[in-house]
Amino acid sequence: MSKIKVLVTGIIPEAGLTELRKNFDVTYEPEKETREWVLEHLSEYEGLLIMGLKGDRELIDAGTNLKIITANGVGFDHIDIEYAKQKGIVVANCPQGVRVPTAEMTFTLLLATVRHLHFYDKVVRSGNWIDVSEPKYMGMSLQGKTLGVYGMGRIGSEVAKFAQVFGMKVIYNDAHRLDSALETKLDVKYVDFATMVKNSDVITLHAPALPSTTGIFNAEVFKEMKNSAYIINAARGQLIKQDDLIAALKNGDIAGAGLDVYETEPNIPQALRDLDNVVLSPHAGTGTLEARTAIAAEASQNLISYLRDHQPLNQVNQ
C-alpha cells in the first residue's frame, strides 16, 4: 500500500522530520517549493507542514485532498483557519516547542533594552567612549521593578519566572484570568489593562494578534506609561501601532523598546532603525537549532497523530 503523502515547506531542520519520514511519503525540497510550485502540486498531498507561505484561500483551494495543515510554530495568523474548517481541514499549531526559546529571546531583549546595550555597543564600535556616571547614559536595574505581562499563557508564564529570578514583581493582564491557585503558584497578580500600563516599569507582550488586540498599544497607551518604562514585543507586530511607537520613543513618552516582531515585517522603517533607544532582532524568537528541531518534531507529531491515528492534536479550528 502506498504511503500517505505529506508536503513540508520552508527551512526546517532535517532532524525534526525523522518520525515524519518513518510514517509518510514526505516531500521536502525547499529549493523548488515556491508558492507557484506548491499551488500546482498541493492536490497530491493529504498533510501540509507550512512555513514561509500564506495558507490563504487560494492555497487551501489548491489542496483538494488536504486533511490537515500544521503551522511550524505557535502562530497561525498566516492560515485562514475558518476557511480551512469549512473545507473540512484540521489546522494545528505547535505551542510547546516555542515556549522556552521565545521566553529566552524576550528576556534577552528586555535586558539588552533596559541596560542600553545597543547604544553602548554602537559607541564602543565607533571608537568613542562615554562616562556612564552621567545619568543620561545610565540604564535601569530590574531588582524591585514591576514587570507587566500582557498575555499570561505558556510563554508569558515562563518570562514571569525569569523576571522573578531578577527580583521583579509581576503583574499581568489577559482576556482570561488565571485561577487563583495558579496565580499563587506563579506568584503573579491580575490587574486591569489600565493599571498594568500605568504601573509597569517594563511591559512584555505575549498575546495573539486578534481584532481585539491589534493596535492595542498605541499613542494613547504610551502616554499613560511611565516615561521611564520599556516595552518588549516578541509576540506579534500587530499588537503595536508602529508609527505611534516611533513617536513615543522620539518624544520620550517611554524610555525604550525591544522588538523581535514588527507591524510591517520584514520592512522596518528607517525611522525605527535610526533610534538608539530600541533593540531590534529579525523575528528570531525561536532561532536556535534546538528550538527549531523541537518545533519541527512537534509539527510532525500533529500530522502523525491525525493522519495515522485519527486523533487531532493542538487543533486551533475546532
Give pLDDT tens digits for 45-83. Answer: 999 999 999 999 999 999 999 999 999 999 898 999 999
Model confidence over 250-308: pLDDT tens digits? 999 999 999 999 999 999 999 999 999 999 999 999 999 999 999 999 999 999 999 99
**Active-site entry in 99, 116, 236, 292:** 236
pTM of the prediction? 0.93
Are 51 and 76 a contacting pair, CB within 8 Å? Answer: no
- Catalytic pick among 115, 154, 183, 265: 265
**Alpha carbon distance 281, 268 (integer Å):** 11
DSSP three-state, residue 209 = coil
pLDDT at position 1 is 61
Q: Please indicate whether residue 283 is annotated as part of the active site.
A: yes
Extended beta strands in the chain, E state: 5-8, 25-27, 47-50, 68-71, 90-92, 146-150, 169-173, 189-190, 202-205, 230-233, 256-259, 278-280
CB atoms within 10 A of CB 245: 26
- 190: cell is 491580575
236 is catalytic: yes
3-state helix, strand, coil in the chain (%, to 5): 40, 15, 45
Is 265 annotated in the active site? Answer: yes
Model confidence pLDDT, tens digit, residues 103-137: 999 999 999 999 999 999 999 999 999 999 999 99
Give one DSSP letter per residue of 102-167, joined into a string: HHHHHHHHHHHHHTTHHHHHHHHHTT----TTSGGG-----TT-EEEEE--SHHHHHHHHHHHHTT
